[in-house]
């Protein structure tokens, strides 16, 4: 017989099926960890909320001793960490990434997405952000002598991120 609408089938970490309510349930935090400046902050806030976290990269990270944190090392290759996260992120999950195409896939799947500076990526803004990213890539490609890049990650960015993550975790729990 079918599941009730507010329930969905999920496999636990051992591959066993379990029923999980998506109403008011924060399931998982996924962190696209390659070049992520807020891994420690995610672990701190996620631990305070008792949420399982997956830190996903293609290597070079020291595994956390925290039982709520699972370090996932994917093989070297373009976007394999992104694919791993996008294949799993769904309603009730929070994804931390600076990768706009990954963010678009996760938003489409129903996950909440935050950039490292605390900016929320949603259905309402992801299209414009993706288009701007593509436009800027074209501009950079047209001018190979262009110097400079984005602004440096600041203490204010870290503070905005912590506030935004706290708000997202509380909103998912209340939903």
pLDDT per position as a tens digit, 60-119: 888 999 999 999 999 988 889 999 999 999 998 999 999 999 999 999 999 999 999 999
> Among the residues of 89-154, which ranges form H helices?
100-108, 126-142
pTM: 0.78
Contacts of 67-74 with C-beta under 8 Å, sequence gap 24+, read 68/43, 69/43, 70/13
The percentage of the chain sitting over the pLDDT mark of 70, rounded to a whole number, equals 81
- pLDDT class for 148, splitting at 50, 70, 90? low
SS3 170: helix
Q: Are 18 and 52 in contact (CB under 8 A)?
A: no
Reading the block at residue 51, the tokens are 């949420």
- Checking if the pLDDT of 141 tops 90, the result is no
- 90 CB-contact burial (10 Å; exposed 0-12 / middle 13-18 / buried 19+): middle
The chain-wide mean pLDDT, for the chain, equals 82
Please state which of the ranges 2-11, 40-49, 64-73, 134-143 shows the lowest mean pLDDT: 2-11
The percentage of the chain sitting over the pLDDT mark of 90, rounded to a whole number, equals 53
- List the one residue out of 84, 88, 40 whose CA is nearest residue 61: 40
Place of tokens 């909440």: 112
- pLDDT class for 135, splitting at 50, 70, 90? confident
- Checking if the pLDDT of 57 tops 50, the result is yes
- Checking if the pLDDT of 1 tops 50, the result is no
- pLDDT class for 150, splitting at 50, 70, 90? low
Reading the block at residue 65, the tokens are 């001793």
What's the pLDDT score for residue 166? 94
């Amino acid at each position: 017989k079918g599941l009730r609408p507010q329930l969905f089938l999920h496999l636990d970490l051992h591959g066993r099926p379990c029923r999980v309510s998506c109403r008011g349930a924060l399931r998982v935090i996924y962190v696209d960890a390659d070049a992520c400046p807020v891994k420690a902050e995610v672990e701190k806030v996620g631990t305070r909320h008792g949420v399982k976290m997956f830190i996903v990269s293609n290597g070079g990270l020291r595994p956390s001793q925290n039982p709520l944190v699972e370090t996932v090392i994917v093989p070297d290759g373009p976007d394999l960490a992104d694919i791993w996260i996008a294949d799993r992120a769904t309603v009730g999950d929070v994804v931390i990434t600076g990768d706009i195409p990954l963010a678009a896939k996760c938003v489409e799947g129903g996950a909440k997405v935050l950039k490292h500076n605390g900016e929320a990526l949603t259905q309402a803004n992801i299209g414009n952000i993706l288009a701007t990213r593509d436009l800027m890539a074209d501009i950079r490609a047209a001018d190979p002598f262009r110097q400079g890049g984005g602004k440096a990650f600041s203490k204010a960015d870290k503070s905005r991120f912590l506030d935004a993550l706290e708000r997202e975790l509380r909103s998912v729990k209340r939903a």
